[in-house]
Amino acid sequence: MATKRDVIAVGDPVLRQVAAPVADVADPYVQRLIDDLIETARLANGVGIAAPQISCSERLFIVASRPNARYPQAPLMEPTAMLNPRLVAHGETLVQGWEGCLSVPGVRGLVPRYEHIDVEYLGRDGALRRQQLADFVARIFQHELDHLDGIVFLDRVGGKDDLMSEADYLDMLLAARGSSRG
Ligand code: ZN
């Protein structure tokens, strides 16, 4: 049974640590951690979550993009565990996009990320995977990878005009959809 874990917020020193590599993917502790992260992200309407966010300073995160109340426009994918992930190459194009974080409740910020990236990681079966990611899923990967290096998205926000409340952000999305319809 997967268990929902408590998500820590900015200010907790664990979020500022560089996480340690996962030594043994098959370890039941690691497999349990993966299940709990997936469950915690699902219940919190997260599209990704990194182990340090539940106080486990290990290089492991979940990418679980799906449309939900916090990210109505997210693409749908199976929750994917990525262990010891690496960004191995990226295109030149940086795109600005609004991000939120379960560890920064109620806030959205405009963050530049690479539009196209090549990544490597171990799956939960221990096999090495190489993938090309683009757009929103590439953004999630870069956001979660930052968590493993003690970085939160607020560190990458350009200025005070690039922050807004989650409520205002969702209002802005609704307004944009209304005008594209009309
Ligand atoms: Zn986050």
Q: Are strands 104-114 and 163-165 parallel, antiparallel or unpaired?
A: antiparallel
Is 120 one of the annotated active-site residues of the chain? Answer: no
- Predicted TM-score of the model (pTM): 0.94
Count CA atoms within 13 Å of residue 166 on its CB side. Answer: 12
Q: What is the pLDDT of residues 17-58, one digit of tens each?
A: 999 999 999 999 999 999 999 999 999 999 999 999 999 999
**Candidates 92, 120, 144, 166; catalytic one:** 144
With tokens 């999630």, the residue in question is 140
Report the pLDDT value the prediction gives residue 90, as an integer from 0 to 100.
98
On the question of pLDDT at 181 being above 70, the answer is: no
Q: How far is the CA of 26 from the centre of ligand 1 (A)?
A: 25
Nearest-angstrom CA–CA distance, 121 and 129: 5
CATH homologous superfamily of 13-181: Peptide deformylase (3.90.45.10)
Nearest-angstrom CA–CA distance, 17 and 99: 21
On the question of pLDDT at 7 being above 90, the answer is: yes
Under 8 Å between Cβ of 95 and 88: no
Report the pLDDT value the prediction gives residue 73, as an integer from 0 to 100.
83
Query: What are the distances in angstroms from CA 166 to CA 46, 87, 110?
Result: 13, 29, 12
Token pair recorded at residue 106: 């109620």
Nearest-angstrom CA–CA distance, 10 and 15: 7
Q: How far is the CA of 113 from the centre of ligand 1 (A)?
A: 14
Q: How far is the CA of 138 from the centre of ligand 1 (A)?
A: 14
Report the pLDDT value the prediction gives residue 38, as an integer from 0 to 100.
97
Q: How is the chain split into domains, by residue range?
A: 13-181
Nearest-angstrom CA–CA distance, 173 and 51: 29
Q: Which residues surround ligand 1, an ion (CB under 5 A)?
A: 101
Q: What is the pLDDT of residues 127-167, one digit of tens each?
A: 999 999 999 999 999 999 999 999 999 999 988 889 999 99
Under 8 Å between Cβ of 50 and 17: no
